[in-house]
Amino acid sequence: MLTKSEIISRLINPGIIAVVRAQKCEQVLPLAEALIAGGVIAIEVTMTTPNAIEAIRETKRAVGVRGLIGVGTVLDVETARAAIAAGAEFVVSPILRTELVAVCHAAERPVMLGAYTPTEAQLAHEAGADFVKIFPADGLGASYIKSLRAPLPHLRIVPTGGVDLNTAADFLLAGCAALGVGSSLVSVKILQEANWPELTRLARAFVSVASSVSRK
């Protein structure tokens, strides 16, 4: 089993976390394989995916050490515990649910808490969150992250929403530790068509952008 610090290291290198809102439980394994083939090893299976816990269990068993399988949209401690028991290696919440920290750290798993404002982001950090998920980042952009980190440079920020191939480099240059990438990577069209080669191609493109940026 990887330690928490080892998982964190893999999350920030190359720094692309695929946010998966699958339509069916059985889509998760093939899409995970496609992402890993493209170099995106961190895969966040959201709890909005049907039978998400079982999907996490099956996918982690299949991919082993080749990928990191995490859980997203976690709103309570019970869900975090169930996902970790199923093999989830990191836990993500879209909200500032501080009680998740103790549960995750007891299991040697990093946790990412949601925030929107500077105050919420700092509170997440003080609560012990390993990362702060700025969500939704669609209307904020890289300039917001840069402004946020000016007085709070200690924050390890992962924006989700508004991250695509055109904005990824700017977010990383603004000082983000990693990027949560949803529909611009794992699109509804790709899921509907089961177009896994296209998903691999997009994954490679995102990894290429992340690898080309000199991080602060």
The residues carrying an active-site annotation are 44, 133
Q: Which DSSP state fits 23?
A: S
pLDDT of residue 215: 66
pLDDT of residue 78: 98
pLDDT of residue 56: 98
Q: Mean pLDDT by 10-residue block, N- to C-terminus, for the chain (216 residues)?
A: 96 97 97 98 98 98 97 98 98 98 98 98 98 94 96 98 96 97 97 98 98 80
Angle between helices 77-86 and 52-63 (to 10 degrees): 30
Domain 4-208 is of which CATH architecture? Alpha-Beta Barrel (3.20)
pLDDT of residue 216: 56
SS3 183: coil
pLDDT of residue 1: 87
Cβ 40 vs Cβ 205: under 8 Å: no
Cα 89 to Cα 80: distance, rounded to the nearest angstrom: 11
**Cα distance from N-terminal residue to C-terminal residue, the chain:** 30
Cα 39 to Cα 18: distance, rounded to the nearest angstrom: 11
pLDDT of residue 139: 86
What six digits make up the tokens of 75?
């709103």
